[in-house]
Amino acid sequence: MIPREKLHEGKAKVVYATDDAQVYIQDFKDSATAFDGKKKGTITQKGRMNNAISARLFALLEDAGVPTHFLGVETETAMRIRRLDMFKVEFVVRNVAAGSLSKRIGYPEGTPLKNPPVVECYYKDDELGDPLLCQSHLDELGVVSPEELARATELSKQVNSVLGAFFAERGVTLVDFKLEFGKDAEGVVRLGDEISPDTCRFWDSATGEKLDKDRFRRDMGGVEDAYAEILRRISD
């Protein structure tokens, strides 16, 4: 596939057009940001590792019946994806309290949720800092229809079941993660974006060690090793 013009450069990926209007290429970068881009850095080999991790997890989800945008691996750092019209909503799925949920409802980090998964919607709007939306906000904004919201919520829970079991077998607790959905040319709701240690919290089930981007966000060190460990655990 021949990449053509750059369509979009985000904080962690670049998306290119191809000669097929329905196929894009997404190339994963080593650069990392946190806190709405206020913290910046580089995670060596992150592009290669996140491409490999996302490819493996998208393939797993497709096999389990979750429609995704993944079409195939293109290069060490890039994958072919189906063009989607993305919803302006991020879905965060949580099994264990951590991060902003701990701050919001006062559960210490590591507290198992009583009725998992908690599924939250955030407004994809950088200027507003991606705020949490309640149902009335979603109704008012109208950025996703009730049917799209119901389908994306259902798929989010299915992704949680599939990935939760997959990681548990590999000694990793899937604490929480962020998903983005969109619609393809046929109107099918598909999972897009990426699934990687940038977008998930992964804790070693035995030791509780963090194996994700929190090591970068919280200046804990060992960031590259954590990503490499996740890639190692999922490579069979």
Binding site for ligand ASP (CB under 6 A): 11, 33-37, 213, 217
DSSP symbols for 14-49: EEEE-SSTTEEEEEE-SEEEETTTTEEEE-TTHHHH
Measured between alpha carbons, how far is 181 from 16 in angstroms, rounded to an integer?
19
H helix or E strand, kind and range, residue 89: strand 85-94
Count of residues for the chain? 236
Q: Which residues bind ligand TMP (CB under 6 A)?
A: 92, 98-101, 176-178, 199-201
From ligand ASP, ligand TMP, none, interface partner of 33 (C-beta below 5 to 8 A by class)? ligand ASP
From ligand ASP, ligand TMP, none, interface partner of 95 (C-beta below 5 to 8 A by class)? none
From ligand TMP, ligand ASP, none, interface partner of 222 (C-beta below 5 to 8 A by class)? none
Strand partners, 166: none
From ligand ASP, ligand TMP, none, interface partner of 217 (C-beta below 5 to 8 A by class)? ligand ASP
For the bound state, the minimum distance from the C-beta of residue 204 to ligand TMP, rounded and expressed in Å, comes to: 16
For the bound state, the minimum distance from the C-beta of residue 98 to ligand ASP, rounded and expressed in Å, comes to: 12
Output the six-digit token pair for 165.
Answer: 């079991």
